[in-house]
Every structure is written in structure tokens, then in C-alpha cells.
Amino acid sequence: MSQAVSHKFNVEEVRKDFPILSREVNGKPLVYFDNGATAQKPQSVIDAVSNYYAHENSNIHRGVHTLSQEATTAYEMAREKMQQYISAQHKEEIIFTKGTTDGINLVASSYGRHHIKAGDEVIISAMEHHSNIVPWQMICEEKGAELKIIPINDQGELDMQAYQEMLSPKTKIVSVVHISNTLGTINPVKEIIDLAHQKDIPVLVDGAQSVPHMPIDVQALDADFYTFSLHKMFGPTGVGILYGKKELLESIPPYQGGGDMIKTVTFEKTTYNELPHKFEAGTPNIAGGIGTAAAVDYVNQLDWKAVNEHEKDLLDYATEKLRAVEGIRFIGEAKQKASVISFVIEGIHAYDLGVIMDKMGIAVRTGHHCTQPLMQRFDILGTVRASFAFYNTKAEVDLFMKALERAINMLK
């Protein structure tokens, strides 16, 4: 089922899989261009979650009764599907988390506490989301380590030369974003990883924005850690994945203590469970896990080549149209770019544009997109961001343009 024959990409057909896309907002057909914040869910994911609660709901892993065994099987099946989807070598390298932020915090806390000492360095980039800044700041502060920032150019691309020079024996980990949520830049993560590995430095990749746009092969990338959220991959909210190489995950201590992560507990000494359970304390988001399996099935049947052509088409079409808008400044013009467009319009506040466009049924995101240091880099307070998924259309871009022009006229 998961390896179903890919059908020719037809956006109108694909849209039928997503019930929310046919609703109206403020009396207008919804144009959902906020996919960078969260993606919409196909009916199959909604059904899987609802079916779990209606027919299988039960706690997993230690129940002897039928329901518990069914739920456990379904949950562990999701882990296997994810393992295959991202080409991980072992099933136990797939850790269920609450989301990307949780995955980064896990690594910063467990790996950081174990490996980072005073005087060490952690490398991140200037385009990181706050969730890939703050956890590192916290551990660096605790340990007396230093956070180093890979600079970017005016197009929003990493300065790879500077990165290379930054890598040193003091560097304990590199943590970078695969695709920038604000700029859309697709970073050369393979190169980043290879350079770090030359000096035996592990790399964590924040894949929050990459999973909706491409399949990931963690072994081809040779990533040490790779983390993302299912809700951006057309799956349920509140569940994410942390992939980690087995030997690395085995070498670091648990993140949180509680049920499921233990082997034996006495008041004197607790021994920890094996991977992946060692990092999964407490009852997990079982429905989320089961929805994950449905999301993987869904993306597996996509013809990614066709999806990417369609998204590139949308990006080019919208960029071209926007270029004609008076006073526009694009924030993020990398050569390698996902279907994300951030911009500001001279003399008009992004918030005002967002409010007026919402009245016309257009959902875009405005503000700093949780990347305040990046805003400071471009000397702006915020942008309007339109982020496309494969179910968006050129007709929607036309509606978006009409709404934008109308909003600009009102606000000028």
C-alpha cells in the first residue's frame, strides 16, 4: 500500500484529498499560503486518527489485552514506515517526539550535557528558527561554551567559506536548518555534514521545512541527527521524529525520565530501556503516531519529481507577479529555494497586509517568523510570507495577487 504506483500529478485531483481546501473564509474561497506554519491534512490522515479513537484506543507497550496489542502494533508499524521512508538503517533510530522543537531540545540537552564542556563551541547559522537557537544558547550558557554563527549573504545563502573556517577541535556539534522557514533557502546540508565529518563533528539537521517538499534519505546525507514535525508533512500535530545514528543515541543519556523509558526501577538505581524507548518517556501521542503512518503512506504515493516541478512553477509564477509590485523587496533570493516567498512592501506594515488579505480569504503569515536574528540581519521587523504546498494552484496565486494589490491600495 505504501509503495502504491505513483499517479501523474494533477493538482485538481490532489486537492480533493484535502477537505479543508474547499472551505470558505470570510465568505471567500480559502487560499491557504501558510504551509510553512503547518500543512493541511489529507482525508486518509484524518480517518486514521479518528479510526484509532473510535476502534483501537488503548495504551501501548505493556497491555496484554487485544486492544493494547492492536494499538501497539499500529504504533510500531508507523515507526517502521518512517524508518523506510527516511531510509534509516535501524528501526530503533526513529524516536517519536512532540515535534521539531522537542527533537532539538532532546539533542541539545542529552548530547550537549554529555559532550559539551567549558570552552567548547556549537555552530548554528544566521537563518535558524528560534527553536534551533535557544536550546543551544541554554546548554552553552550552562556549560560555558560558545555559540558560533555561520553568516549569510544578502541573498540569504550560507557563507560556506566562513563555515569551513569555523570548524575546529573546539566544535562539539553543528546544528543547521535544511530549508529556512523565512527565506526558503535550501542549504547544502550534504556539504555541511561532509565538512564537519572530516573533523569528526556530528551534525543535527532541522528538517521542519524540508519534509513537505522532498523525501529525505538520512543515510545518503550521512546526518547524525535529523528532526522534523509531522504536522508540516501533512500529518497530525503534536508528533515529530528525531532520527539519530544508533551508536550516537546509545552513547547519550535519556532526556526525560518516566514510564516506558526504564528497564528496572528501585529507589537506589534505575536502569534504562533500550532504544528507541529510552528517549520516549511517558504515554506517547499514540493517535499522532498512527496518523504518522497514514501521512507516510500519503507522501509515498506522490510523484515527487512532478510535485517539485509544480512547486517550482508556483514559486516562479508568484515571484514574477510580485516583482511588478511597486516598492517590493524580497527577503531571501537564494539560487536554491523552496516554494516560500518572504517580502516587505515599502511604507506598509506586514501586519496590516496580513489583516486585510485575511478579509479576502487569503492566509499568509506575517511577522518575524520566529527568526528575529535573521530579521535583524536584514534590518527589518517582519515580512509577509507566502509558502506553497503541492496542492496550491496558479489560480490561487492570482487571487493572492488581486488581494495584495487591493490591500496595498487601501493601506497606501
**Residues at the interface with other proteins (CB under 8 A):** 26, 348-352, 354-356, 359, 366-368, 381-382, 410-411
φ, ψ of residue 206 in degrees (nearest 5): -85, 105
Task: Please say which residue, 313 or 352, places its beta carbon nearer to other proteins.
Answer: 352
User: Least Å distance between CB 387 and other proteins?
Assistant: 17
Q: Nine-digit cell at 67?
A: 486492544
Is residue 251 within 8 A of residue 115, CB to CB? The reply is: no
CB proximity list for 56: less than 8 A, separation 6 or greater: 67, 70, 71, 74, 290
Task: Please say which residue, 281 or 411, places its beta carbon nearer to other proteins.
Answer: 411
The angle formed by the CA atoms of residues 298, 3 and 309, to the nearest 5 degrees, is 60
User: Least Å distance between CB 26 and other proteins?
Assistant: 7
Is residue 87 within 8 A of residue 217, CB to CB? The reply is: yes
φ, ψ of residue 407 in degrees (nearest 5): -65, -45
Distance CA 148, CA 355 (A): 37
Task: Please say which residue, 135 or 354, places its beta carbon nearer to other proteins.
Answer: 354
Task: Please say which residue, 181 or 285, places its beta carbon nearer to other proteins.
Answer: 181
Distance CA 148, CA 151 (A): 9
Task: Please say which residue, 302 or 364, places its beta carbon nearer to other proteins.
Answer: 364
Helix, strand, coil tally for the chain in percent (to 5): 45, 20, 40
CA distances in angstroms from 224 to 119, 202, 204, listed in the order given: 23, 6, 6
Task: Say which of 370, 375, 401, 411 is annotated catalytic.
Answer: 370
User: Least Å distance between CB 199 and other proteins?
Assistant: 39
User: Least Å distance between CB 287 and other proteins?
Assistant: 25
User: Least Å distance between CB 27 and other proteins?
Assistant: 9
Task: Please say which residue, 26 or 50, places its beta carbon nearer to other proteins.
Answer: 26
User: Least Å distance between CB 363 and other proteins?
Assistant: 13
Distance CA 136, CA 131 (A): 9
**Residue 140 among the catalytic residues:** no
DSSP secondary structure string for all residues of 87-149: T-S-GGGEEEESSHHHHHHHIIIIIHHHH--TT-EEEEETT--GGGTHHHHHHHHHHT-EEEE
Active site residue ranges? 370
